[in-house]
Every structure is written in C-alpha cells, then in structure tokens.
Amino acid sequence: MYAQMIKSEATQDDPALLEAFQARIDDNQKIEPKDWMPEGYRKTLIRQIGQHAHSEIVGQLPEGNWITRAPTLERKAILLAKVQDEAGHGLYLYCAAETLGVSRDELFEMLHSGRMKYSSIFNYPTLTWADMGAVGWLVDGAAIMNQVPLQRTSYGPYARAMVRICKEESFHQRQGYDIMMKMCKGTDAQKKMAQDALNRLWYPSLMMFGPSDKDSVHSEQSMAWKIKMNTNDELRQKFVDQTVPQAEYLGLSVPDENLKWNEEKGGYDFSEPDWSEFYDVLKGNGPCNTERLNTRKQAWADGAWVREGMLAHAAKKRIAKVAAQ
Ligand code: FAQ
C-alpha cells in the first residue's frame, strides 16, 4: 500500500492520468482501493467517510442515554437494536476508510484531538422520550436522504457500505415515526412532548445537510468526483418536502412561520437554520460537544487493556510460530 501511495504521489500532476481518472468517474465506473486516484480524491474520501464513521459512533450517545429509561421492554429492545446497528455502521465505514491507507488508530486520534469532525446534530441533548421518536424520524430521515444517493458514489467500498446502511436506516426512521405516532395519539402531555421534540430538533436536523451551497467548501469538487451526488441545498429541500406532510399527519406544526408551499417550484419555501449557531457548534461550542468527546475519549482509554491484550496475544502466537519452524 505504501509503495503504491509513493508511486501515486509521484504521478499526481500527470494530466493524462487525471483525465483518464475523470473519464472513469464520468462513465460511472467504480474506483477500487488498488486503482490509481488523485491525492485530493483520496484525502476527501478519508475526510468524508471518517467523519461519517465518527458520526455513527458518537451518534450512539444521545440514544444510549435512553436505553435504561425506555418506557416498555419492547421499546427498549428496539432502541438497543438500533444503537447496535449504528455501531455496525461505524465499523463498515472505518473499514471503508482503511482501504484508503489510513489506520483506524489514526482516525480515532484525529477525532479525539478535534482534527476530525462528526455530525453537528449529535451535539444536542435528548431531553425526553419523545426525542427518541424525533431522532429516528428526523435525524435518520435526514441521514437517509443524504445516504441513498451515496449508494451510487464513485468509490466502491463506500458505495457498498451504504447499501446495507441505508436498509437499516430505513428501519430506524420507521421506528422513530412509530414512537411519534404513539405520542401524538396519546395524552395531551405526550403530544406536547412530541411537539417540543420537533421544535428543538427541526433546525439542527436541517443543519445536518451542511452549509448552504454558496458557503459549501467541498461540494463542487466532490460532486465532480461523485463523492457527493447532490448539493447540500438540494437534499435539504427534498428533506423538507418529504417531512412536512409527515408532521401534518402527526398533527404537529413545524416551527417555521415562513413555511409555505411554493407551487411554482413544486416544493416548500422555508427558513434557513441559524448558520451562526451551526458554525459555533462546529467550533465545539454546542450544548454537548465537550460531553460527547469526553465520553469517546474515556471509552478509548477504558478499552486500552483489550487492545494491549490482543497485541500481546498476537505477539505470543507469532513467537510460537517462529519457534515451531
Ligand atoms: N456537521 O463543504 P461542505 C447519521 C463541515 S450519519 C459537522 O458542504 P461536505 C446516522 C464539513 O465537514 C450523519 N460538520 O462539506 C445516525 C466541512 O468542514 P471540513 C453523518 C459539517 O463534506 C442517525 C465544512 O463544514 N452523515 O446521522 C456538517 O462537502 C441517528 C464545509 O461543508 C454523513 O457524514 C455537519 N452537519 O458536505 C446515527 C454523510 N456539514 O471537513 C445515529 C456523508 C458540513 O472541511 C442516530 N457526508 N460540515 O473541516 C456528507 O454527505 C458530507 O460530508 C456533508 C457535508 C453533506 C455532511
């Protein structure tokens, strides 16, 4: 792998290679780990896939908060399964990133030192059981809207990981909506709780798609390379158009007085999120940034004995193998 990387760096500026690479992308061919790729393509993928993997892992925390407090045994089992699925998604994605020549230890180090991000949404707290409904409905709903197109992304291992992830995210979204339905058909207090969850999580969910297109740094190049299939605003619009009728069905109101169907564009007009809040959360100043990162760092420290044990076991086996030769 290292030799291959050195070789690819030496040929980075070769216009013929770059042209042939772009032609493969334009022809919808998949790029596989051993294929030549521009360094920028490789780095962008590590950034996006790594950030995505971290989001799945950190994303377990707001829901993990409610496993011990789920209202019934059935709800607890469903939530537990969902949170375990998210761990699995993180693992597929770390594996996909590793095929690009970065190690899992390096990815964790970058998360823990703040050099790599995870989705802004997970820096908000989950205050009531209704938040479990709203996270499934809105957060998984937004994740699916973004990830279904990524099944066609140009990098083979990422596209294939997305296929399974999307199937599981659909189940997650349905279970979230099911919780919202129960709450909305329940007592006045339960419906109020559901409305409160929607009020708090609506704009953070819209932020999941990233800054508006005019402020997106990576979209243009990532779309040319088919690392991203849509712009941030395109997906945000699709999400609003899909979600507003679902809120209406629940009898809930979306907390946006500018929300209005626009016949001409065939979609809703809606208020932009507060982008200063978004950038502030990215800088580490969201309500839960410190708590989330500290929890992950603690988990890494707590797992040190497992890693050390496994390395010692592998070393022992290696010595035994050499001795037997
Ligand atoms: N949060 O130039 P762009 C899930 C950063 S999975 C934090 O537009 P790009 C499952 C961006 O990194 C959710 N940072 O960036 C689940 C860049 O900064 P950088 C995660 C954000 O990459 C559900 C800067 O802003 N999904 O939820 C965010 O082209 C329930 C400029 O932005 C994925 O990761 C943000 N929201 O577009 C788990 C999907 N938005 O890196 C548990 C794959 C932007 O230069 C419970 N990723 N930034 O320092 C993508 O599609 C893209 O990376 C975007 C951002 C669309 C997120």
Interatomic CA distance for residues 210 and 231, integer angstroms: 9
- The neighbour count for residue 215, using CB atoms within 10 Å, is 12
Q: What is the structure's pLDDT at 227?
A: 98
**CA dihedral for 246, 248, 249, 252, sign (positive or negative):** positive
Q: What is the pLDDT of residue 119?
A: 98
Q: Which atom of ligand 1 is nearest to the CA of 44?
A: 22
User: Is 207 close to ligand 1, i.e. is its CB under 6 Å away?
Assistant: yes
The CA 96 to ligand 1 mean position distance, Å, reads 17
Residue with CA nearest ligand 1 atom 34: 52
Average of per-residue pLDDT across 180-195 = 98
Instruction: Say yes or no: CB of residue 140 within 6 Å of ligand 1.
Output: yes
What's the length of the chain?
325
What is the best residue among 282, 283, 285, 289 to mutate for testing ligand 1's pocket, by most ligand atoms within 8 Å of CB?
Answer: 282
Task: Give the ligand 1 atom nearest the CA of 228.
Answer: 51
Determine the atom of ligand 1 nearest the C-alpha atom of 60. Answer: 42
Compute the 3-state secondary structure of the chain and give helix, strand, coil in percent, each to the nearest 5: 70, 0, 25
Going by CA atoms, what residue is nearest to atom 8 of ligand 1? Answer: 216
pLDDT digits (tens, 9 = 90+) for 267-276: 999 999 999 9
Query: What is the mean pLDDT of the segment spanning 103-112?
Result: 96
Nearest CA to ligand 1 atom 55: 210
For 221-270, the pLDDT digits (tens) are 999 999 999 999 999 999 999 999 999 999 999 999 999 999 999 999 99
- Residue 3 Cα to ligand 1 middle (Å): 31
Nearest CA to ligand 1 atom 11: 210
- Which among 195, 143, 131 is positioned nearest to 167, based on CA atoms? 143
- Cβ of residue 282 lying under 6 Å from some atom of ligand 1: yes
Residues 6+ apart with CB under 8 A from 161: 89, 92, 93, 95, 96
Give the start-end residues of each E strand in 165-312.
260-262, 267-269
For every residue of 135-157, DSSP letters joined together read IIIIIHHHHHHHHHHHTT-SBHH
Q: Look at residue 4 in the predicted model and tell me its pLDDT.
A: 45
Within 10 angstroms of residue 304's Cβ, the number of other Cβ atoms is 9
Ligand 1 atom index nearest CA of 207: 36
User: What pTM value is reported for the model?
Assistant: 0.94
| 276-297 mean pLDDT | 97
Spacing, Cα 119 to ligand 1 middle (Å): 6
* Each residue's pLDDT tens digit, 118-133: 999 999 999 999 999 9
Rounded mean pLDDT of 165-170? 94
Express as a percent the part of the chain with pLDDT over 70.
Answer: 97
pLDDT, average across residues 44-62? 98
* Per-residue model confidence (pLDDT) at position 11: 67
Average pLDDT of the residues of the chain:
95
Q: Which two tokens mark 304? A: 């040190």
Task: Indicate whether residue 230 lines ligand 1 (CB < 6 A).
Answer: no
CA-proximal residue: ligand 1, atom 50 (nearest): 48
